[in-house]
Structure 1
Amino acid sequence: MVLAGIEKLHARLLRRNALGRHFRSLAVWDAFHRHEVQGHALSDTQSQRLLAAARAEPAQLLAELGSSPDGLSPQRAAAVRRRVGANVVAHDQAPPWWQHLWHCYANPFSLLLTLLAAVSAATQDTQATAVIGAMVLLSTGMRFVQERRSNHAADALKALVGNRASVRRRSLAHEAAAEAREGFGVTLHPHAPQVQELPMHELVPGDIVLLSAGDMVPADLRVLSAKDLFVSQAAMTGESLPVEKFAHTHAGDGPGSQPLEMDNLLFMGTNVVSGAGQAVVVATGGHSFFGALAQKLTAQERTPTAFQAGVNRVSWLLVRFMLVMVPLVFLINGLTKGDWLEALLFALSVAVGLTPEMLPMIVTSTLAKGAVALSRKRVIVKRLDAIQNFGAMNVLCTDKTGTLTQDHIVLQRHTDAWGRDDDAVLALAYLNSHYQTGLKNLLDVAVLEHAHLPQQLGIDTRYRKIDEIPFDFQRRRMSVVVSEDEQRDGHHHELICKGALEEVLAVCTQVWRDGAAQPLQAATLAEVQAAAAALNAQGLRVVAVAMKEVPPTQQVYGVADESALTLMGYVAFLDPPKESTAPALAALRAHGIAVKILTGDNERVTAKICHDVGLPAQAVLLGAQIEAMSDAELTQATATHQVFAKLSPAHKERIVRNLRQAGNVVGFMGDGINDAPALRAADIGISVDSAVDIAKEAADIILLEKSLMVLDQGVVEGRRTFANMRKYIQMTASSNFGNVFSVLVASAFLPFLPMLPLQLLVQNLLYDVSQTAIPFDDVDAEVLAAPQHWDAEAIGRFMRWFGPVSSVFDIATFALMWFVFAANTPAAQSLFQSGWFVEGLLSQTLIVHMIRTRRIPFVQSRASWPLLATTAAVMAAGVALVMGPLAAEFRLQALPLAYFAWLLPMLLAYAGLVQGVKWLMAWRDGAQGRSAAPSCAMPAARRDR
């Protein structure tokens, strides 16, 4: 049941954090920016509540919210949640069944069929009305059942990739102590509050939230404390640069002040870029700033995604074809037969035959089935349309750590600046990692695994933290300031800095050697860099450690204080390559995907790891070199280089955009805050469940296992899903084109209709049933071997090649019935119509197996058993309808057995001709450099999120 819900996960997950749903569309963003931010997005009450929170003293605000610096108890939080509701925007709820049913029905094809059914009813053609109604019910019902069943399991799936927030909650003992102090004046010793990781939807006003780099802001918050807290509000205000937030209280500003102007407020849907802070929740769900925007924006027209645009293009091609051909059929039959009512009904039946009424159901079912299959391979699809891009991807950009390597970093060496083991360097690194409150990465975790150091260093008794200077991706270093016991002689503050080698060396003026500091002159600098390079050559990632002692005269430190440091040495980490990496890279190459490594790490470490896994890295392009390149130069460089090192987030984003502009379909795999810009810029963003919130929010695909092999399996499944959708479109287009061409020929020369409207409708209904198992069909290996794209010209080319082939045998059937079986008068028309009914149905059903593969069907490639079963059942039902007791109800008649003796060689000849045309198309496409597999219709999606 959980797996079955994945096909609905894309909508539910994006609604859960509605930012991803609304602001990825530039049209909606324009409307938002024009009408909401510049106007009045909030009601006066909501706006005044946020402004009041910005202007209130923290203690006063906490009291109004019934909270405290220690947060809420679970009991109080539950009571507040019952009163204000869950922290979700209004449209996060699943629609009622009747609204969902309407959504499944309301597509152009169902509406067109309904119109045709109404016309049939008005002309008292009850049988045609019933058949058309059955088509609508089949298409709508199957889609409704498939999606409705998934909705019930979507909540279970959310937990797999859902974002969480760090919240301070009081325990029961703490709550009782607080009530005792307040109510009875008794002094108790409550337990300390607990920091819990809670799903964002559980937050309520009054909760105390802890924020650090990479976190999504889970609700509207008032900042209580902040240290270099920078937040990206681009989605709310359009500001490209992060905004710093503070904990100060605003005085009463002018009447025109807006909540977005307050630098002590944080808004749902934004994200923390750097620094750390604590804040109290003041508004959740629909009461938040974003919740109010979302409620207004849901009523606006959404721009279709590129995938939807491709399906729409195919649909409108068939509709335009119908608008031309149906009037011709009507006029020809009216003029030649003289019965204009019968001609109208027949023309309407042809219109039904040209309508791909199963397209919405086939697309939904195929994507849903693909998402379920991907989930079994530990790949969660957030946005179903992304499956098409997954299959079309031909370039994968990925980081090194955790993808090529085991993502289990071990502290291997701790040395002085000359490469000699030094425990003092490890102690300084431990102090830095222990006292920092920002985003702790795997390097910090590896340092903190040395459990014996706290006792040796006397962290609980000897040191206390004074301040910290958080990490950011421009400085690529972070510092903490600690103080030793004031009773000791020489009391001072120690600023301990840890970070990338070049960035730390940039703020060092001295180096520690043999118990003393020496000036860091050019010759000495070359020596210490050589020592670090020797560690890099062993595949070790080197982090520099520096410090300085300062007088205890200040309590607040900033980036400017990171100067005149003394380089103490290095901590070096090992992250060995995965055993599965080399086979995975080979599998990706075999599937036509070029892998490019985009990392912020040192070029020597990167080259060593790439060499170990068999990835060519003779020339590594560095971020500094990219800075100096023009776009044209970068295009040439990205085409010839596979490994890029020492990159900033902006470099990664620029490379991804450059690859896309060169015509590639680019996937980007990342899990850090520095990866978010590139994830948004890629055609398909791929992250992992352990990623920071902003990376998961920016991604389309979430891997439950950070592995290239899992990714390769997901790509193959995406291509299989796309191939099955393509089959239906090819079958529908070619069959419809051939049928209408045959109808035009027959209408011009026959003295009666080649098939009655009711018969044509029944044939279409049976053919539709035969195609319902296409989403579950197998796909040939060669189709999966290369990226697959929508091609705008392919659908028309496919129609022109295969449509006339079926018409050749339709016309041959006309000749057979006319000359051999003497069905050449109006009195014998039912025999003629029965003959074409059977031949048309069997050939249409046979084409399902012929077009689904470039190989010889049934011999070299067999369909899946569901497709075999449905097509066999439909063929048997069609023959039984003509030969059985119900034939008269449809104005058909039993065919002579000799007819089937003629029919069998005709079907074999038809299959042989189709196979020959397939081979001819393959030769022609190969000669022109096209893909060996026919494809339909549209360039891969390009999206800027």
Structure 2
Amino acid sequence: MQINSIEPIPDLASGPAEPGFPEGQADSESGLSSARVEVLRSRFGRNVVDSTARRTWWRTLREVLSEPMFLLLLAASGIYLLLGDVTEALTLLAFVAGIVFLTVFQSHRTARVLDSLRELSAPRAQVLRDGQRQFVSAADLVPGDIVFVDEGARVPADGSVTEAHELSVDESLLTGESVSVNKAVARPDARPDEEARTELFFGSMVVQGQGRMIVTATGPNTTLGRIGKSLTSIAEARSPLQLETRSFVNWFAMAAIALCLLLVVAYRWRSGEWLPAVLAGITLAMGILPEEIPVILTVFMALGARRIANEGVLTRRMSAIETLGQTSVLCVDKTGTLTQNRMSVQVLWVQGRQQVIDQATQHIDGAYHELIEYLVLASEIEPVDPMERAFHETGHSGLAGTGRLHEDWSLVHEYALTPELPAMSHAWHTPGGDHGTVACKGAPEAVCSLCRLGERETQTILDHAAQMASGGLRVLGVAKARHDHPDWPEKQHDFEFSFVGLVGLLDPVRPEVAGAIAECHAAGVRVVMITGDYPSTARAIATEVGINGTHIATGQEVASMSDAQLRHAISDIDTFARVKPEQKLRIVNAFRESGQVVAMTGDGVNDAPALKAAHIGIAMGLRGAEVAREVASLVLLRDDFAPIVSAIRLGRRIYANLVQAISYTVAVHIPMIAATMIPVLVGWPPILGPIHIVFLELIINPVCSVVFENEPAREDLMRMPPRRTGTRLLSNRTLAQGVLAGSLIALIVMGLYAGLLGHGYPIPFARTVAFVSLVLGNVALIFVIRMLQHAGKRALALQHNHYLWIVLGVTGAALLLLMTVPALAALFGLIALLSL
């Protein structure tokens, strides 16, 4: 088979030509070589139109230096200098440098994780290089590349059309016009006003058909780049969790300001001095401001996204991570998600006769040769879809030597499958013939309609198709037609088709699916299958994987229901069959309106509205259309079901660990506030200064960001129901537990300090004991929070979190040095208890 001849398009990248083809032209059979690509990339740069600044160390440092905690530390150092305490000021500045270094390192690491995730989610392009068709990042394209574009793909660069099959493109990003533009191959006699129809522009979306182009411009040299637009400049809206934590931090900050002012006034009233009073206020501000919370949220989401990516799911929107733990309904497609998407022809049916094909089949009876012939003719010449690959494989093995593989025929017209008519046709020109041959394949009922069969004959065919489908097969009908006119009709219905037969394809169920669905059910997540296949096929697959297939609703039944009726019907229906894309959207909306949190998988252009409507849209990364990936929150890096369940499990773990980290943050600040305020208010000597707060922050930050982020999941995490919508990050009970635990530590610390002062112990000794007890109390709070989260289970199981060992070891070593080295203790205004 062949495509009609195509005029060569000049390569705009001047320079040495590829060996074996003329100067300035790409070889249409092999494309550019890898060596040539590297030369062109070094000349033209990456194919990126992006206004977002790249993350640099200097940018991260500038952000850290503008944080309130850093400014408070500088202010405290300045006050120590004004008071003449140079040693204290320099020591504090040294700690400032340490905190800045750790914060910059952590912030930059988090930012780099986010950058790498964005690079993973960048558009891909299917390109011809080194004689092979391969997927590459769109950013790696160079002028001269031969690129394949398909329905649902974002055009990855500017280029000239060299092959077009019903190709239509939405260029509204550039023109503002939402009407799609038909594209065609350039002709030598084309008029100037036709040139735009032969060009594809970076950023436009292919809404129909497929084609091939040769890249003429990349990156800033594209039309999109020249007008300064960016596909990545749209900021993502704040998630509910971000809004909640921001509100919490603002409330905490207002309370901190009020307490600090109160402390400054109280200190000034008791001592009569302003500078020490301001220093006490700064100390309290440092101890009370929960600046860790935004950092914790960013770190948890970034590292959580990386964990989820390691499980085979790319996070395109961070808000999806917090929603994963709320998912109550998971809507999935059958093909490629529950099944392996590795199709093989299993059954052939022609005029009441049937042949089963398996590994032992060595010969296909001649009665079925015409059926296979027209299956191949109705498929793409270079098939990508697994179903069409199966037809070609069966054709090459079953029709070899029969004269029915028409390598010399030319494809001259295509009729695409539509939601209204689920059938497609290819029109072929036969050399030396006076007519055209048309091959059609599609849903059996659509093919019967095209063939204008009688009611009785149609019912016989559909009954047998249903019988084949009950064995889990995907069933298609095949038809043929002859066309004797020079012009091709607009619609497939204009041909006089005759029915050829039925074909049944087997797509094996993935072996891990049944266990993953059982895990979802145990976790309270309802799994709903939505497929375009026959009800009997859907029931067979549902039964095999563990989905309830007792009641099945068809797309026709869904179409006949009102919204209220559909909301009532979905309460006991887990399997939908013969569903059209617009009906998927109605089903998703019905679940949403019923109060469910919906995750949904999809791969096609028509799935995009439903993916966008779902709380979590999950696109197929390998076979999914680019538009589906763009609107989805998650993208499967391998198209199967198991990673979805892993993502739900990790989403629950991330949220549970985030609750622990925020609870610890609340609890650990209470004894710090008490140790700063109470001595001033009752007239005792101060316990804490800024340097002590810095020391405590060096413990708190790693614990919150590293220890709790790496906390293992509860053993019963996937046996708990989904988190209810609207649940606050810190419930009243969780908040009360944190406050109570922190208050208990504060009571112990202040009790020790008061008791030692009351019994006449020296102030440095009392302050040292109180500070050590405060440090140990902070460590103890780690275990208290873990115990509350794990309901008393594994609270002391350190072997499950080696980062906790590291933090405990470093804290213990620092405290040991402080208590054994007199000079170091003196910097903190303490005494070395172990050196006495």
TM-score range, shorter chain: 0.7 to 0.9
The aligned counterpart of 1:182 is: none
Partner of 2:541: helix, strand, or coil?
A: helix
Task: Please tell me whether the aligned partners of residues 325 and 740 of structure 1 are also in contact (alpha carbons under 8 angstroms).
Answer: no
Q: Compared with structure 1, are the counterparts of its residues 897 and 462 closer, same or farther at alpha carbon in structure 2 (3 Å cutoff)? A: closer
Using the TM superposition, give the Cα deviation of residue 555 of structure 1 relative to its aligned residue in structure 2, in angstroms.
5.1
The aligned counterpart of 1:580 is: 512
Using the TM superposition, give the Cα deviation of residue 447 of structure 1 relative to its aligned residue in structure 2, in angstroms.
1.0
The aligned counterpart of 1:496 is: 439
Task: Please tell me whether the aligned partners of residues 183 and 199 of structure 2 are also in contact (alpha carbons under 8 angstroms).
Answer: yes
**1:481 and 2:427 aligned:** yes
How many Å separate the matches in 2 of 1:287 and 1:112? 47
What is the CA RMSD across the aligned residues, in angstroms? 3.9
How many Å separate the matches in 2 of 1:149 and 1:619? 45
Q: Compared with structure 1, are the counterparts of its residues 299 and 319 closer, same or farther at alpha carbon in structure 2 (3 Å cutoff)? A: farther
Using the TM superposition, give the Cα deviation of residue 302 of structure 1 relative to its aligned residue in structure 2, in angstroms.
6.0
The aligned counterpart of 2:3 is: none
Alpha-carbon displacement from aligned partner over 1:677-720 (angstroms, at most 9, x marks no partner): 33333333334442234144444434344332333223222322
**Aligned with residue 415 of structure 2, among 469, 483, 486:** 469
Task: Please tell me whether the aligned partners of residues 412 and 573 of structure 1 are also in contact (alpha carbons under 8 angstroms).
Answer: yes
The aligned counterpart of 1:98 is: 58
Using the TM superposition, give the Cα deviation of residue 478 of structure 1 relative to its aligned residue in structure 2, in angstroms.
0.8
Matches within 5 A, 1:428-827: 428-434=373-379, 436=381, 440-450=384-394, 451-452=396-397, 453=399, 455-460=401-406, 463-486=409-432, 491-509=434-452, 520-551=453-484, 553-554=485-486, 556-560=488-492, 562-694=494-626, 695-737=628-670, 739-740=672-673, 743-771=676-704, 772-786=706-720, 787-788=722-723, 791-792=727-728, 794=730, 798-819=734-755, 822=758
* Aligned residue identity for 1:638: I
Task: Please tell me whether the aligned partners of residues 738 and 802 of structure 1 are also in contact (alpha carbons under 8 angstroms).
Answer: no
**1:283 and 2:217 aligned:** yes
How many Å separate the matches in 1 of 2:693 and 2:128? 68
Task: Please tell me whether the aligned partners of residues 413 and 428 of structure 2 are also in contact (alpha carbons under 8 angstroms).
Answer: yes
**Aligned with residue 140 of structure 1, among 78, 81, 104:** 104
Kindly tell me the number of residue pairs found equivalent between the two proteins. Answer: 792
Q: Compared with structure 1, are the counterparts of its residues 367 and 657 closer, same or farther at alpha carbon in structure 2 (3 Å cutoff)? A: same
**Aligned with residue 888 of structure 1, among 815, 820, 826:** 826
Partner of 1:794: helix, strand, or coil?
A: coil
Using the TM superposition, give the Cα deviation of residue 536 of structure 1 relative to its aligned residue in structure 2, in angstroms.
1.5
**1:62 and 2:5 aligned:** no
**1:321 and 2:255 aligned:** yes
Runs of 5+ unmatched residues, structure 2: 1-5, 15-23, 356-366
Alpha-carbon displacement from aligned partner over 1:628-647 (angstroms, at most 9, x marks no partner): 44444333333432112222
The aligned counterpart of 1:85 is: 45
Alpha-carbon displacement from aligned partner over 1:484-525 (angstroms, at most 9, x marks no partner): 4536xxx4322211011222233221xxxxxxxxxx222222
Matches within 5 A, 1:866-881: 866-875=803-812, 877-878=814-815, 881=818
The aligned counterpart of 2:362 is: none
Task: Please tell me whether the aligned partners of residues 823 and 832 of structure 1 are also in contact (alpha carbons under 8 angstroms).
Answer: no
Using the TM superposition, give the Cα deviation of residue 587 of structure 1 relative to its aligned residue in structure 2, in angstroms.
1.0
* Aligned residue identity for 2:267: N
Alpha-carbon displacement from aligned partner over 1:412-437 (angstroms, at most 9, x marks no partner): 11112546454045234333245556
Using the TM superposition, give the Cα deviation of residue 466 of structure 1 relative to its aligned residue in structure 2, in angstroms.
3.2
How many Å separate the matches in 1 of 2:175 and 2:719? 44
How many Å separate the matches in 1 of 2:624 and 2:235? 31
The aligned counterpart of 1:203 is: 141
Task: Please tell me whether the aligned partners of residues 65 and 206 of structure 1 are also in contact (alpha carbons under 8 angstroms).
Answer: yes
Partner of 1:572: helix, strand, or coil?
A: strand
Deviates more, 1:113-122 or 1:835-844: 113-122
Alpha-carbon displacement from aligned partner over 1:207-258 (angstroms, at most 9, x marks no partner): 44332224331112343443322334565567667554345788567xxx9x
Task: Please tell me whether the aligned partners of residues 400 and 599 of structure 1 are also in contact (alpha carbons under 8 angstroms).
Answer: yes
Deviates more, 1:274-283 or 1:879-888: 879-888
Runs of 5+ unmatched residues, structure 1: 1-57, 172-192, 510-519, 899-945
Q: Compared with structure 1, are the counterparts of its residues 470 and 882 closer, same or farther at alpha carbon in structure 2 (3 Å cutoff)? A: same
* Aligned residue identity for 2:156: P
Using the TM superposition, give the Cα deviation of residue 867 of structure 1 relative to its aligned residue in structure 2, in angstroms.
0.6
* Aligned residue identity for 1:867: L
How many Å separate the matches in 2 of 1:299 and 1:482? 46
Task: Please tell me whether the aligned partners of residues 204 and 284 of structure 1 are also in contact (alpha carbons under 8 angstroms).
Answer: yes
Task: Please tell me whether the aligned partners of residues 504 and 546 of structure 1 are also in contact (alpha carbons under 8 angstroms).
Answer: yes
Partner of 1:405: helix, strand, or coil?
A: coil
The aligned counterpart of 1:407 is: 341
Q: Compared with structure 1, are the counterparts of its residues 777 and 829 closer, same or farther at alpha carbon in structure 2 (3 Å cutoff)? A: same
Identity of aligned residues (%): 26
Task: Please tell me whether the aligned partners of residues 752 and 770 of structure 2 are also in contact (alpha carbons under 8 angstroms).
Answer: no
How many Å separate the matches in 1 of 2:436 and 2:80? 89
How many Å separate the matches in 2 of 1:362 and 1:688? 30
The aligned counterpart of 1:856 is: 792
* Aligned residue identity for 1:730: S
The aligned counterpart of 1:906 is: none
How many Å separate the matches in 2 of 1:870 and 1:575? 51
Alpha-carbon displacement from aligned partner over 1:615-664 (angstroms, at most 9, x marks no partner): 11122222233334444433333343211222222222343344344443
Q: Compared with structure 1, are the counterparts of its residues 833 and 242 closer, same or farther at alpha carbon in structure 2 (3 Å cutoff)? A: farther
* Aligned residue identity for 2:521: R
Task: Please tell me whether the aligned partners of residues 670 and 739 of structure 2 are also in contact (alpha carbons under 8 angstroms).
Answer: yes
Using the TM superposition, give the Cα deviation of residue 808 of structure 1 relative to its aligned residue in structure 2, in angstroms.
4.2
Partner of 1:548: helix, strand, or coil?
A: strand
How many Å separate the matches in 2 of 1:821 and 1:431? 94
* Aligned residue identity for 1:87: N
**1:216 and 2:150 aligned:** no
Alpha-carbon displacement from aligned partner over 1:14-72 (angstroms, at most 9, x marks no partner): xxxxxxxxxxxxxxxxxxxxxxxxxxxxxxxxxxxxxxxxxxxx979737666558556
Deviates more, 1:291-300 or 1:555-564: 291-300
Deviates more, 1:195-204 or 1:236-245: 236-245
Partner of 1:449: helix, strand, or coil?
A: helix
How many Å separate the matches in 1 of 2:729 and 2:295? 24
- Scaled by the length of structure 2, the TM-score of the pair is 0.84
Task: Please tell me whether the aligned partners of residues 428 and 437 of structure 2 are also in contact (alpha carbons under 8 angstroms).
Answer: yes
Q: Compared with structure 1, are the counterparts of its residues 585 and 876 closer, same or farther at alpha carbon in structure 2 (3 Å cutoff)? A: same
Task: Please tell me whether the aligned partners of residues 161 and 689 of structure 1 are also in contact (alpha carbons under 8 angstroms).
Answer: no
Q: Compared with structure 1, are the counterparts of its residues 412 and 360 closer, same or farther at alpha carbon in structure 2 (3 Å cutoff)? A: same
Using the TM superposition, give the Cα deviation of residue 857 of structure 1 relative to its aligned residue in structure 2, in angstroms.
6.4
Task: Please tell me whether the aligned partners of residues 436 and 468 of structure 1 are also in contact (alpha carbons under 8 angstroms).
Answer: no
Partner of 2:709: helix, strand, or coil?
A: helix
Partner of 2:504: helix, strand, or coil?
A: strand
How many Å separate the matches in 2 of 1:412 and 1:529? 18
* Aligned residue identity for 1:399: D
How many Å separate the matches in 1 of 2:644 and 2:122? 20
The aligned counterpart of 1:267 is: 201
Using the TM superposition, give the Cα deviation of residue 445 of structure 1 relative to its aligned residue in structure 2, in angstroms.
1.3
Using the TM superposition, give the Cα deviation of residue 606 of structure 1 relative to its aligned residue in structure 2, in angstroms.
0.6
Partner of 1:640: helix, strand, or coil?
A: coil
* Aligned residue identity for 2:746: D
How many Å separate the matches in 2 of 1:332 and 1:854? 42
How many Å separate the matches in 1 of 2:835 and 2:734? 35
The aligned counterpart of 2:18 is: none
How many Å separate the matches in 2 of 1:294 and 1:849? 53
Task: Please tell me whether the aligned partners of residues 72 and 282 of structure 2 are also in contact (alpha carbons under 8 angstroms).
Answer: no
How many Å separate the matches in 1 of 2:51 and 2:135? 25
Using the TM superposition, give the Cα deviation of residue 446 of structure 1 relative to its aligned residue in structure 2, in angstroms.
1.2
